[in-house]
Structure 1
Amino acid sequence: MDRLATLDLFVRIVERGSFSAAARACGVSRPVATAAIKALESRLGVRLLQRSTRHVQPTAEGVAYYRRCVAILADLEDAERSASGAVAGVLRVDVVGYLARRVMLPVLSDFLALHPALTVHLGEGERFVDLIREGVDCVVRAGALADSDMVVRPLGTMEEVTVASPDYLARYGTPINPAGLEGHQMIGFVSSRTGQPLPLEFTDAGGVREVVLPARLLVSGADTSAAAARLGFGLVQAPRYRFSEDLANGALVEVLADFRPMPTPLSVLYPSSRQLSPRVRVFVDWLVKVITPQLQSGQ
C-alpha cells in the first residue's frame, strides 16, 4: 500500500477499533492491512496500536499520529472539493452538547437535505479543540473568546437567567435583589480554564456585579449543573434556552429577573490558515441564517 492509503487505513482502524472492519472498508484483506501497519510502525520506530483478541486501540503516540492523519486527509479532501466546488464529504463540527440537541439538531435535517452528498460528524464538548491537529472543521462556542488565529463569525447572543427550584426557594427564600443573597447557596460551576467556580453575575444601573456564594456542590458539566438545580442544590445561571422547559413546567423558577446577567455571545470558529472548503462555507453561512433567528426568537 502507498503512504496515503496506509494513512487512510490507520485512521479507519482507530475509528472502528478493528483491523478486519477497516480492511473491508479499504477493500484489502486482513493480512495486507496487518502488514501495512507493521511496516508503518517499523518506519516510524514507534508502536501506534495496542492489539487484543477483541479490540484495537491507539497508544499515546498513535492518538497523536491519528490526529495528524485526520488533518492531512481532511486537507487533501478539501483541496479536491475546492477544485471542483462540490459540497460533499464529512464535515466535522464540535458543539456544546445541549446546544447541539436543543438548537441545532431540530433544523439540521434541513441543511442535510440541501446537501445530500454531505455527512456531518457532530462532536460534543466544551474543551479547547485544536482544529487543525484534530481534523475538526469548525466549532461553535459560547462566551468571550480568547485571542487566537481562528476566524470568528458571530451567531448572536443568548439571554442568561438565574434559576432555582421551588423547593430551594421554600427553604432559603426568594431574593429580590443581589444584596438579598446573603445566606443563599450556588451550584459551583468549575471553570475549565481556572479550575475555580465561576461567580454569579448580575447587572443593574451601576453596571455588572459578580457574586460568589457558598457552594456545597461543585460541577464541571452543564447538564449536571441543570440537574442539580432541579434537585434544589442552589442557584445557577445559564442561557434561558437551557431551562425553557423547566421554567414552563415549574421545575425551576427564575429569580432576580430585573438583574439578569449580561447576554452570552455565541460564535462559530474555523481556522484562518486553511483555504475555506465549500462544505465549511455553506455550513457557516447556514448557521448564521438559521441559528441567529432561533436565538433571537428564543429570547
Structure 2
Amino acid sequence: MDSISIGIFVQVADTRSFVVAGRALGISASGVGKSISRLEQRLGVRLFHRSTRSVTLTVEGEIFLEHGRKILAGFQAAEADLSNSLAIAQGRLRVSLPLISEPFVSILADFQLRFPLIELDLDFDNRIVDVIEEGYDAVIRSGELVDSRLNARYLGRFHSVLVGAPEYFSLHGTPTCPGDLASHACIHFRLPHTGKLQSWDIHAESGDGVPDLPVKLICNTNEARVGFALKGVGIAYMSDFTVRDAIADGTLVTVLDRYTNKPDTLHLLWPSGRNITPKLRAFIDFMSEHSPLDKQ
C-alpha cells in the first residue's frame, strides 16, 4: 500500500466520482477504478458502493477514510521535513586538502562557526586522492586539472618564495643569485608518500647556475619549516600564502624573488553529474569568497 493509491481513494471519497477524481489527479477514470479495486483487494473489504449515478462510501470506506487522511498527512509532514532538511546546510562534509594548516585552518574555523550544522571531516594530505572512489565531497588541490569527472571552482593563483628571518641574513648574508644558495642553510621538505625531497623550482638566468642545495634540515610539515625559518635556522622554500602574515609583519623576508616567480593555481574540485547539496554549495561559495589567493 502506498501514498498514491491512498491519495486516489481520498480524492474519490471527496468528489464521489471516479471521473472527477481522475481529472483532478491527471489520470483516466478507468485508472482510478483499477487503483480502487487493487486497494479493496489488499484490504479485503469493499470501500465504495458503485452505481451508474453515484459513488458512495461503505461503512468500511468511512472507517478507512479517517485512517487514509492521517496516513496522507503523515506523508506530507515527512516530505516537508525532508524538504526542510535538504534546504539547510547540514550533515557530514568530507574534504581533502593539501598538507598545509594555515591559512586553511583559520578559514575553515570561520566556516564551521558560520555553518554549525555541518560536520567537517578534513583530511590534510598531499597525495592525489580519487575524489569519487574514496568518497570525498570535495578536494582542494594545486596544479593542472586532469580529471574530467570533476567540476572545479578557481580559488586563485600563488607562487613559491624563498624566505628566511632577517636575523639569519644579517649573520650569513643575503643571496643575490641562485648560485649563492650553495653557501646557505637550506630547510627542506620531505614528500610524505615518496620520501623524496621537494625540488626548489628556481629559474636561473643566463650565467646563473642553480647549485645542488645544501641540506641543513628536513621536515615533513609546513608548520615546522616556517617555525625553523622564523628561528633563523635557514632558508625555506614555501608557497607565498602560507607565509604571507610573517612577511607582512617582517618576521620573514623573501630573497631571490625574480628567480621564483612561476605561478601556480589552486582549485576546489567536486564530483560532476550530481546535484550540489546545500552543505557542499555553502562550502564552495564560502571557500571561493574567503580564498587567501590572488584571483587575477
Q: Give the shorter-chain TM-score range.
A: 0.5 to 0.7
Structure 2 equivalent of residue 119 of structure 1: 118
Q: 1:151 to 1:243 in 2, by over 3 A?
A: same
Are residues 1:168 and 2:168 paired?
yes
Distance 1:105 1:279 in 2: 15
Q: What code does the residue aligned with 2:139 have?
A: V
1:8 alignment partner in structure 2:
none
* Residue in structure 1 matched with residue 278 of structure 2 by the alignment: 278
Which of 87, 90, 113 aligns to 2:89? It is: 87
Is structure 2 residue 105 aligned with structure 1 residue 101? Answer: yes
Aligned CA distance change for structure 1 residues 276 and 107 (closer, same or farther; 3 Å): closer
Q: Map 1:67-86 onto structure 2 (within 5 A).
A: 84-86=86-88
C-alpha distance in 1 between matches for 2:233 and 2:96? 30
- Taking a change above 3 Å as real, the CA distance of residues 87 and 210 of structure 1, as seen in their structure-2 partners, is farther
Taking structure 1 as the reference length, the TM-score comes to 0.58
Uncovered stretches (5+) of structure 1, i.e. residues with no partner: 1-79
Task: Say whether 1:296 aligns with 2:284.
Answer: no
Q: How many residues align?
A: 211
Tell me how far 1:165 sits from its aligned partner. Answer: 1.9
How far is 1:149 from its partner? 4.0
Alpha carbons of structure 1 residues 247 and 85: separation in structure 2 relative to 1, 3 Å? closer
Residue in structure 1 matched with residue 263 of structure 2 by the alignment? 263
- 1:186 and 1:235 in contact (8 A); partners too: yes
The within-5 A match list for 1:235-250 is 235-250=235-250
Residue 138 of structure 1 and its aligned partner are, at CA, apart by 1.1
Gaps of 5+ in 2: 1-81
Query: Quick one: distance in 1 between partners of 2:83 and 2:136?
Result: 16
| CA–CA distance in structure 2, aligned partners of residues 210 and 228 of structure 1 | 23
Residue type of the alignment partner of 1:165: A
Q: Is 1:188–2:188 an aligned residue pair?
A: yes
- Partners of 2:261 and 2:109 lie apart in 1 by 27
Q: Taking every aligned residue pair, what percent have the same amino acid on both sides?
A: 28
- Amino acid aligned to 1:242: T
Richer in helix (by share): 1
Superposed displacement of residue 124, structure 1 = 4.5
Q: Distance in 1 between matches of 2:123 and 2:172?
A: 35
Partner of 2:229: 229
Any residues of structure 2 matched to 1:134-153 within 5 Å, and which? 135-144=135-144, 147=147, 149-153=149-153
1:236 positional shift: 1.1
- Matched AA of 2:103: L
Taking only aligned residues, the RMSD between alpha carbons, in angstroms, comes to: 3.5
| CA drift at 1:252 | 1.8
- Write the distance in 2 (CA, Å) between the matches of 1:233 and 1:256: 18
Q: Report the Cα distance in structure 1 between the residues aligned to 2:83 and 2:189, rounded to whole angstroms.
A: 42
Report the structure number with the largest CA radius of gyration.
2
